[in-house]
Structure 1
Amino acid sequence: MFLVFRWMLRLFTGMIALCLLAGVILYYFLSRSLPDYSESFQIAGISAPVEIVRNNDNVPHVFGRTDADVFFALGIAHAQDRLWQMTMLRRTAQGRLSEMFGSRTLKIDELMRRYDLYGLALDSVAVQDAATTAALEAYARGVNAWISQINEGARGRGAPEFFFFSNEIAAWQPADSIAILKLLALQLSGQLENEVLRARLSLVLPEARLRDILPDAPGSGITALPDYASLVPGVSPGLAPLKMASGGGLSPFPTREMAGASNAWAAAPARSAAGGSILANDPHLGFTAPTVWYLARLELASGGVIGGTVPGIPAVLVGRSEALGWGLTSSYLDDQDLFIEEVNPENTEQYRTPDGWKDFVTRKSIITVKDAAPVTITLRWTENGPVLPGTHYDIGSITPPGHVAALSWTALTGADTSMSAVIGMMGAGSVAEAMEIGRLVVAPAQNVTLADTRGVAMQLMGAMPARDPGHQSKGRMPVPGWIAENRWQGILPYEDNPREMNPRSGLLGNTNNKTVDRPFPLHVSYDWGDTQRIQRWLTLMKAREVHTRESFIEAQLDTVSFTARSLLPLIGADLWFTGEAAPEGTPERLRQRALEILAAWNGEMSEHLPEPLIYQAWIRALQDRLIRDDLGPLADTFTHVEPLLIERVYRNVEGASIWCDVVQSAVVESCSDLARIALDEALLTLSETYGPNPESWRWGDAHQATHDHPVLGSLPVLRYFVNIRQSTSGDDHTLMRGKTRGDGPNPFLNVHGAGYRGVYDFADPDSSVFITSTGQSGHPLSRFYDDLGELWRRGEYVPMSLDPELARAAAVGVTELTPAGN
């Protein structure tokens, strides 16, 4: 017996030793790709010595003799820290994910090939101005120089992920950067799904009820639309939920709820306590590990510029120079239209146009699939744009037999000069100069908030489609593509883009709210991203005569929900403090306790409180009960609370309270009945998950920010090392926005929000601050992988200075580049 025990002990000890040895070997190979930020390189592609000084937060400050040398060094810095992320963004735009991930990403690749973003990026290289072309070429040389260092110096393949996916890294080229900018435009586009959804709903709902569930933003007139069946005969109504291409975290196609958001506001010197303009910006995108944002400072011939870059793009997209600050928010411009094209029944290679039948423009595309045979698809384009498959956003459900759907979108052009605007913005010396540079922007269309030492402005930058006043749906639903009045008439003059310069109030801001009330076709959009956050912003801005950097930071971090404050009194009007105290342990008593908790709540969506969780679960259950019996499975498309719908129902606007009656039941339910039933249902679900004591529930336990690795984040064991989860405050409708997932077993996870925050004070520029939601490095073994994330969660910032000496103080490393041969 002792002999058996001894051998078992030896075997166990040996296994432990082997595991430790394997762990050491694995760590050794994975850590080889950790860059040494204090190395020196003799390298081809630069004209003079360059320094990359990484400050204490690992933000690279790049100093070179020429702009080309600076962009070269930025390419090296991006590749050192984010090479895997860059190659994934490029592969996504190219439609080449399946080469690495097999059949699970095939549908994504098919769609990307049909959009042809990469082909259009290749064409767009030729239309950039000389300075932009030079920047793109220098940046590509820098990325390729680091790839050469990886190949020659055994640097762990450049990133740990490449050990799992051994595909070769192709050389970087200027078109790759333009393609990534187009990919960002795709991720910020939601008008296509809105059109399909509106068409689907118009087939099953009367006009008044359609206005309830897809209401116009307050302040606009109601536009009566024909129902979709009269526009495109032969479509049968259906209640199946909308579908889109799957692929987990790898899909670039957003749902309408996640198609871009952001905050930006500015104060002119007269409204600033220190007498200088102030600008705050926090663009919102889906959370990933690492975040898509990468902080950098570039010392260009025009001066220093610092802020947020996107790896793969050689520019500071949001940030400031010595003279100018700029911030981005999604404009919600209606820059997409879906056209139903009739196929010639006598010749399926033709489609109807206003001038008769015309041939589709077709070509074959071969998709290489890992561990499977290559797939050949036929790409077809009409005069209106690429033909999309019926599975994309469930387009097939509103496409009659003998027809296909084609997409018009401003980004689908090979003459896209947006990159020239992005590069040019860094050299702008004033608000007026920046607004003129915006003339070059095609897509994504953004509201650009600007501030210089003298004033502030907001300009919509992006191509606005010119539509005929006779357009059958005014761009709100798919229309026949062979009717001339439905087709785009080109692009509107840049002067028609909305702008606001130095308002009398001295303050301007945008939370994706409606910005103009102009008649069609100068309307900008009928679908806006916010009607709620803007109300809280107005309250905070009006509370002070003058503002400071700290008051702007306070607004960025504000977690009070105007939505909760306005909706709770409506839905609970007949429930507060009614009836005798119910016995403990009963559903009635649990409801009373929850209502008592909510009665004293000020609407603050704090991670430490139970009230936000009770409110969110209640309002979510209520909306589902309101629409489920009318929409059936199509209700699954509405994964997030629609505040205007709830308000219209409980104020009975245009008879909207009819939603409260469950059609299938004999009893006529009141809105109070539905509110009570929904609250009981929500509390039961919460009790099963978080225990029977509502006072101990905590919003942050449900509302965790999910900075997950798009590829490794779903793998056992590895996910605990690569995913970053944080308890967070805020919700869908607070200024510190934390968009909830909306579906699945954990619908309150925080999946979309401010990956970057910046506040720039031109009275004291070096007091400006910024933060990102994870860290600078994309390497999970780096201490800079998540070091900024905890500061971001706590609402803290790091300094934003253009002082070279401050950058050098306590620097974590200085990379020195000298021209080869010196």
Structure 2
Amino acid sequence: MARLMRWTYRIFVSAVILSAVSAVLVYYLATRSLPEYDADYSVTGLSEPIEIIRSNAAVPHIFASSDAEAWFGLGFVHAQDRLWQMVVARRTAQGRLSEVFGEDTADTDELMRRMGLYGTAQQSLAVQDEETLAVLEAYAAGVNAWIDTVNAESLGRGAPEFFFYPSIVEPWQPADSIAMVKLMALRMSGAFEHEVLRARMALFLTPDQLKDLLPDIPGDAVAELDAVGSAAVSPARQNRITDVPDMRAIPGQATMASSSDLTSPDLPLSPFPHRAFAGASNVFAAAPSRSATGASLLANDPHFDLTAPAIWYLARLELTRGGLIGATVPGIPGIWSGRNTDLAWGFSASTLDDLDIFLEELNPENRNEYVSPSGPREFTTREETIRIRDAAPRQITLRWSDNGPILPAWHYSVGDVTPPNHVAAVSWTALSPADTSVAAIIGISQAHSIETAIDAGEAMIAPSINLTIAESGRVALKTLGAFPRRGFRQTGQGRIPSLGSIAFNQWQGRLPYDQNPEFVDPDGGIVGNTNNKITDAPFPRHMTFNWGDSQRVQRWKFLMQNRRVHTRDSFIDVQLDEVSTAARTLLALVGAELWYSGTPAPDGTSERRRQQALELLSVWNGEMNEHLPEPLLYATWMRHLQDRLIRDDLGDMADAFTSVEPLFLERVFRDIDGASRWCDIVQTSNVETCPDMAQLALDEALIWIDENIGGTPESQRWGDQHEAWQDHSVLGDNGVLGWIVNIRQSTSGSDEALMRGRMIGSGKNPYANVHAASYRGVYDFADPDSSVFVLSTGQSGHPLSRFYDNLGELWRRGEYIPMSLDPELARAANAGISVLTPAEASE
């Protein structure tokens, strides 16, 4: 027994020592990839040295003797801090994730191959102008210089993730950056799911029910505000197209087709968003007439999926025409939101409907053909092989019709609305093989006037954005992106899939750029967008039927018009505003019959708990503050109420509505066009009223809180449930590693507040904040160097770096860091200074 104990002890000690040695070795290898900011590098591809000064927040300030070398420097720092992020994004666009991650990502790869996004990026390289091509080549050379440095100096493969997922890092190509812009467009687009969802609903809901559940945005278009407080309206005619296309009129659509339960957004590392998480943003500007200092102001906070690290990267470049600084995207040369010496710019997702689904009829005599308007036509096909790590390769046949690539039936469940003997094709502007969007981003970055920026924006194909621009004394807003030219007779109106065999359904090119909405030098001095409706132009010259916001814009108008003039700090207050207009509206409607009803009830009863909750909500102002209990009560109540209203009508299809739709609830409780019919449970013989449903939903919400959170309503804290989940895209699901690489923070805000924190809507914590403003910037021309910006995480993508999450706490608290072009300010307390020297000069 003593001998057994000795050997057990020895094995235990040996295991501990081995584990400790392994941990030390892993830590050593991981730290080898930590970038050194205070080191000089000899690199190829340069003709003159580049100086890179890292501010105390690790924001690189790049000084070079030529523009090409400055773009080289941006590529170098992007790769230095975000190489893993860039490699994964490129593999996503290429459909090559499975070479690294195995079978789990094979379906994602197949879908991306079928889309052909990367192939069109390669084709688009041929249409770039000389200046853009020179920037792309210089940027790629900078990325590759860092990759060569990692290999030459054994710098831990460039990122710690490469130890878990070995991958050959191939040289960066100019086409890769074009593909990154297309990937941004994909992440910002919810049009495909909108079309499929509306079509699925139209199969078994009446037109009136469809208008309730997926309503058109009411009210006037808003893009500029006048000086006395009312919103100015686009001069376009009101949209008189009110008829909803009937999916049941399409042959073969009387019954739903079956499709896989698999949907594209649920695939591992899928770039396809759920419609609730497509691109969003707030952007607004004030001319000198509305500024306390007599100089323009601009604020921007684009909303994307929260990730660690954030999608954005802060950088400053010194070009021959002056410095520029702002938010970049690793993999893409150019400033998406920022300023230079003369101009500031920001953007919001325009929600332009730039995508249509076409149902192609197969030729029953030859299934390699489809029925085109001119008769049977053979699909364009190509065989491809998806290589899969530790598994056999997958052979697929890619197919295209004249309308675009053919996609699988499980993509957003499009098979459910595809008639027998048909397949779904997609026309999307981002799939243009002549995509010059990267030229627009580069051109806007280097513009020094509103007119020059608008001219540069003509090159933007996708994503479509509302570009808001400010000079010192002027402001403007211009919608960028290719508008599809649809015919008046198109049966789907871009709202539901249409038959590709009908000539008048197909696109006829694009609308002229000068017809895109434009607001320059507004009389009222204010322009802005919250993804709200900015034009009332009728179909087919409309922008979309699916505007991204109907609530934030109301609060924005109030805050902007509540002051005659604004300051940088008031713009920051608007960005950080936590009040939900939807909460203020819905609580008054939904609780109208409940506030003063009921009978006295002892503690512990459902009646008493309901009264306590209503007492809390009765004095609440709709502020979605992380420290308050009321936001949780409100959010839980509305979530259960919506589900109760639609579940009996939709069954499992109710799962598609994971976010509360304020316009739907408002229509129901105002009984607009008889919408209160949703309150009656169709499976019962009783006729339930809306107050009945409101009471039942509140009781159900309180039970959910008790079972899932515990404690009394007064003890709850919104921020505990509304945590910002900034998770690592690959390592975040690993228990131990997830604790290291994920960034979780209590946050204020909500789906409908200007401080937008879109909730996940499902799972164990449906109120988690997963889609928000991961970048905020406010630009002040009265004192440009007092402009500010911040990220939701940090500059570095390395989890062991002190710059991995150092900005996150500032972001959570609503604080910022200086956005200065002053080189001396960057040098003060810098985190390091590097000099890139031409390899030839150092020999």
Give me the TM-score of the superposition, normalised by structure 2. Answer: 0.96
Among 616, 622, 628, the residue aligned to 2:641: 622
Give the drift of 1:482: 1.1
Moved more, 576-585 or 548-557: 576-585
For residue 15 of structure 1, report the CA deviation from its aligned partner: 3.9
Report the counterpart of residue 223 of structure 2 in structure 1.
Answer: none
**1:136 counterpart letter in structure 2:** L
Alignment of 1:291-370 (within 5 A): 291-370=310-389
Alignment counterpart, residue 665 of structure 1, candidates 664, 667, 684: 684
- Note if contact 1:74-1:314 (Cα within 8 Å) is conserved in structure 2: yes
Answer yes or no: is the 8 Å Cα contact 1:450–1:456 preserved in 2: yes
Deviation of the 1:246 alpha carbon:
5.5
Match of 1:84 in 2: 84
Aligned-pair CA distance for 1:3: 8.3
2:725 counterpart (706, 726, 732): 706
Q: Please name the residue that 2:165 is paired with.
A: 165
Q: Please name the residue that 1:765 is paired with.
A: 784
Give, in whole Å, the separation in 1 of the partners of 2:732 and 2:245.
Answer: 46
Residues 443 and 457, structure 2, Cα contact 8 Å, conserved in 1: no
Give the SS at the match of 2:736: coil
Are residue 721 (structure 1) and residue 714 (structure 2) matched?
Answer: no
Aligned match of 1:645 in 659, 664, 668? 664
2:524 corresponds to? 505
Residue among 585, 590, 598 paired with 2:609: 590
The AA in structure 2 aligned to 1:513 is N
- Separation in structure 1 between the aligned mates of residue 276 and residue 415 of structure 2, nearest angstrom: 21
Helix, strand or coil for the counterpart of 1:631? helix
1:607 to 606, 612, 626: 626
Contact 1:241 1:635 in 2 (8 A): no
- Tell me the CA shift for residue 235 of structure 1: 4.4
CA–CA separation in structure 2 for the residues paired with 1:174 and 1:527: 34
Unaligned runs of 5+ residues in structure 2 are: 220-238
Q: Is the aligned partner of 1:54 residue 2:73?
A: no
Alignment partner, residue 99 of structure 1: 99
Per the alignment, do residues 233 and 12 of structure 1 end up closer, same or farther by CA in structure 2, a change over 3 Å counting?
closer
Aligned equivalents of 1:616, 1:238: Cα separation in 2? 35
Task: Report the Cα distance in structure 1 between the residues aligned to 2:172 and 2:789, rounded to whole angstroms.
Answer: 29
Counterpart position of 2:424? 405
Tell me how many residue pairs correspond in the alignment.
822
Distance 2:270 2:640 in 1: 28
Q: How big is the shift at 1:820?
A: 1.7
Q: Distance in 2 between matches of 1:703 and 1:607?
A: 7
Letter in 1 for 2:599: E
Q: Percent identity?
A: 57
Structure 1 unaligned residues grouped into runs of 5+: none
**How far did 1:9 drift?**
6.0
Do 1:249 and 1:711's aligned partners in 2 also have CA atoms closer than 8 Å? no
Among 642, 645, 654, the alignment partner of 1:635 is 654
- Choose which of 254, 258, 270 in structure 1 pairs with 2:273: 254
1:361-380 equivalent positions in 2, closer than 5 A:
361-380=380-399
Shift of 1:317: 1.2
Q: Point out 4+ residue stretches in structure 1 off by more than 3 angstroms.
A: 1-18, 232-235, 237-243, 246-249
Counterpart Cα distance in 1 of 2:547 and 2:265 = 26
The residue that corresponds to 1:528 in the other structure is 547
2:240 corresponds to 1:214: no
Offset at residue 8 of structure 1 (A): 6.1
TM superposition shift of 1:354: 1.1
Report what 1:17 is aligned to. 17
Residue identity in the other structure for 1:64:
A
Conserved? CA contact 1:105–1:247, under 8 Å: no
* Residue pairs, 1:530-609, within 5 angstroms: 530-609=549-628
How many angstroms apart in 1 are the aligned matches of 2:28 and 2:799?
A: 14
Distance 1:563 1:14 in 2: 61
Correspondence 1:444 to 2:437: no
The answer on whether the counterparts of 1:699 and 1:729 sit within 8 Å (CA) in structure 2 is: yes
Check whether the contact 1:737–1:754 (CA below 8 A) recurs between aligned residues: yes
Partner of 1:478: 497
Q: Aligned equivalents of 1:598 and 1:713: distance in 2? A: 36
Distance 1:242 1:330, change over 3 A: farther
Counterpart for residue 231 of structure 2? none
Aligned to 2:694: 675
Partner of residue 392 from structure 1, selected from 387, 411, 415:
411
User: Which whole-Å CA distance do the structure 1 matches of 2:286 and 2:824 have between them?
Assistant: 29
CA distance in 2, matches of 1:243, 1:299: 48
* Mean CA deviation greater in 234-243 or 355-364: 234-243
Contact 2:43 2:149 in 1 (8 A): no
Could you say if the C-alpha distance between residues 123 and 241 of structure 1 is closer, same or farther in structure 2, counting changes exceeding 3 Å?
A: closer
Query: Partner amino acid for 1:538?
Result: K
Partner Cα separation in structure 2 for residue 384 and residue 426 of structure 1: 34
Deviation at 1:225, TM superposition (A): 2.4
Q: Distance in 2 between matches of 1:541 and 1:301?
A: 37
Q: What is the match of residue 776 of structure 1?
A: 795
Task: Quote the Cα distance in structure 2 between the aligned partners of 1:684 and 1:442.
Answer: 49
Q: Distance in 2 between matches of 1:627 and 1:53?
A: 57
User: 2: distance between equivalents of 1:241 and 1:626?
Assistant: 27
Per the alignment, residue 127 of structure 2 pairs with 127
Alpha-carbon shift at residue 11 of structure 1 (Å): 5.4
Give the RMSD, CA atoms, in angstroms.
1.5
Aligned residue identity for 2:419: P
Contact kept, 8 Å, 1:242 with 1:393, in 2: the verdict is no
Tell me how far apart the structure 2 counterparts of residues 774 and 50 of structure 1 sit (CA, whole Å).
Answer: 27
Q: What does residue 39 of structure 1 align with?
A: 39
State how far apart, in whole Å, the 2-side matches of 1:246 and 1:512 are.
Answer: 22
Distance, in Å, in 1 between the alignment partners of 2:600 and 2:155 is: 69
Q: Deviations over 1:265-289 (max 9, x none)?
A: 0000110001111000000000110
SS at match of 2:836: strand
* 5 and 358 in structure 1: CA distance in 2 versus 1, 3 angstrom threshold: closer
CA shift, 1:243, in A, is 4.8
Partner of 1:115: 115
Distance 1:193 1:206 in 2: 20
Matched, 1:787 2:802: no
What is the CA-CA distance between 1:315 and the residue it aligns to?
1.2
Match of 1:752 in 2: 771
Separation (CA, whole Å) in 1 of partners of 2:408 and 2:322: 48
Q: How far did residue 473 of structure 1 move? A: 2.3
Report the alpha carbon displacement of residue 22 of structure 1 after superposing the two structures with TM: 2.0
Superposition TM-score, scaled by structure 1 size: 0.98
Task: Measure how far apart 1:234 and its partner are.
Answer: 4.0
Is this contact kept in 2: 1:216–1:222, CA < 8 A?
no
Aligned residue number for residue 190 of structure 2: 190
Looking at structure 2, the residues matched to 755 and 23 of structure 1 have their Cα atoms a distance apart, in angstroms, of: 33
Pairing partner for 1:415 from 397, 412, 434:
434
Cα distance, 1:821 vs structure 2: 2.4
Question: 2: distance between equivalents of 1:353 and 1:11?
Answer: 73
Q: Give the C-alpha shift of residue 12 in structure 1.
A: 4.7
Does 2:141 correspond to 1:144?
no
2:66, 2:268 → 1: CA distance? Answer: 39
Tell me if 1:229 matches 2:229. Answer: no
The CA deviation at 1:244 is: 1.5
What amino acid is aligned across from residue 634 of structure 1 in structure 2? M
